[in-house]
Amino acid sequence: MGGLTAFILAAQHEDKIGKVISIDGLPFIGPIFTGSNQTSVDDLQKQAQMMQSMFERMTSAQLAAQTKMGLHIQATAERDKARVLDMAQRSDAKTVGEAMYSVMTTDMRKALESSNTSILLLGASGAFTTSEQHAATELIYKEQFNAVKNAKVVMNTSSRHFMMFDQADWVSIRVLEFLGESI
C-alpha cells in the first residue's frame, strides 16, 4: 500500500510532496487482475468485497497458507520469501482484507493527472517468464501514467514484487538518480 498512499499524498498535497517513489505499487491495481487499463473500480467492486470477506474469516494459519501460495511472485530468494511469510504471519487477517479492499477500490490515475509532483515507479515483472508477459506488464504500468506529467516508469524484468529484497542495489541506484544524488 506504500505506493498507493504516496500517490494519494501526491494528488492531495502536492504543495508538500516534492517527489514520490513507488516500488511496484500502481495508482490502480485493478488492471493487474484484468490485464486492461480500461478496468474501473466498479469492475472490481464485487471481487474486492469477496476478498475482504474471505480475509475477514481467516485464521492466522490460513493467512500464512494463503501467502505461501503466492510467494513465488513476491521474492526470488528463499530467505526473502521467508521474510514475506513472516510478515504475513504477524499480520491481522481482517486488516489485510480491509487493506486489499481499499487497494482494489482506489483509483488514483485521474487524480494524478493534475499533480505536479515528480513520480518514479519502479515496476517488477520478474515473476513472468516470457518477453510477451514482460511487455504486457510494462504496458499496463506505463499506460497508468500516460497523462501524468513528471512521471517515469522503470521496469525490472528479473525482480519480483519485493524488489528491495531481490535487487537492492538496482533499486538504490534508481532512487539516488531520481533524487539527484551522486552515485
The class of domain 1-36+109-183 in CATH terms is alpha beta
pLDDT digits (tens, 9 = 90+) for 27-67: 999 999 999 999 999 999 999 999 999 999 999 889 999 99
pTM: 0.91
| Domain extents in the chain | 1-36+109-183, 41-106
Report the 10 Å Cβ neighbour count for 120.
19
Report the 10 Å Cβ neighbour count for 85.
17
What nine digits make up the cell of 28?
A: 490502480
Q: How confident is the model at residue 14 (pLDDT cuts 50, 70, 90)?
A: confident
- β strands within 107-159, DSSP E: 118-124, 151-156
